[in-house]
Amino acid sequence: MQKLKHPNIVELYEVIYTQNNIYLIMEYCAGGDLKRFCMTRKINEEMAFNIVRQVARGFEELSKFGIIHRDLKAANILVHQ
């Protein structure tokens, strides 16, 4: 994931290993997740198209690296405002 540099993919800055834990230092997405975003705003057709396009571009980048996301849902899509 540290090799991925794309505007539609959350950036992984660093991985810290301790004896009992693994810490992932990732880009902060102030908008929260897409599920909460949709619950707090009215999403028009243009916004929905833009969101779908951005998700598709992120998946296109992942596929270039042979990465498969197996838990796609609104709660796992982060929004950056």
pLDDT in tens, 26-60: 999 888 899 998 999 898 999 999 999 999 999 99
Single out the catalytic residue among 71, 73, 74, 76. Answer: 71
Q: Could you give the C-alpha distances from 76 to 9, 12, 17, 18, 48, in angstroms and in order?
A: 12, 15, 24, 26, 16
**6 part of a folded domain:** no
Q: What is the pTM of this model?
A: 0.79
Q: Is residue 1 part of a domain?
A: no
pLDDT for 72 beyond 90: no
CA distances 64 to 7, 59, 78, Å, are: 15, 9, 21
Residue 71 catalytic? yes
Segments forming the whole domain that contains residue 34: 12-76
Are 5 and 73 in contact, with CB atoms under 8 Å apart?
A: no
For the chain, the domain total comes to 1
Contact 67, 20 (CB under 8 A): no
- Is 67 a member of any domain? yes
